[in-house]
Amino acid sequence: MIKPNLLCDKHLGGEYVEGLMLLGSIAKGISMKGYVKNGLVEVHNIRSRWDEVKVECLARGRKAVAIPKEPKLWHEGKVDTDESIRELKHRCPNCKVRLENAGY
């Protein structure tokens, strides 16, 4: 749930692909229980989050695909954004610079 404009190109692209995979899994009826339990996804926000990531991808000149149908979503899960920021800063020096420049 980190603002997409703060992600480096690598992590932005990764989140774009992950969003597509999650939306496809939900459309197929695959359980998101593990993702929810581990605080990795807010199921009710997957579509809107993917849309935000797609807008940032387009703003950076990347191509984006349309989702052919709206999957049925339900309301579960809560992501700890502060923990996500700490983890991303620890993992990626490019994201760390972008986040710190934005005051995180």
Looking at residue 70, its pLDDT comes to 57
Q: Rounded distance, CA 98 to CA 85, Å?
A: 11
- Sequence-distant (≥ 6) Cβ neighbours of residue 16 within 8 angstroms: 50, 53, 54, 57, 62, 64
Count up the domains in the chain and report the number.
Answer: 1
The number of angstroms, rounded, from the C-alpha of 44 to the middle of its chain's C-alpha atoms is: 12
74 pLDDT higher than 60: no
**Model confidence at 72: pLDDT above 70:** no
Residue 99 has pLDDT above 60, yes or no: yes
Where in the sequence is the domain holding 91, given as residue range(s)?
A: 4-101
pTM of the model: 0.66
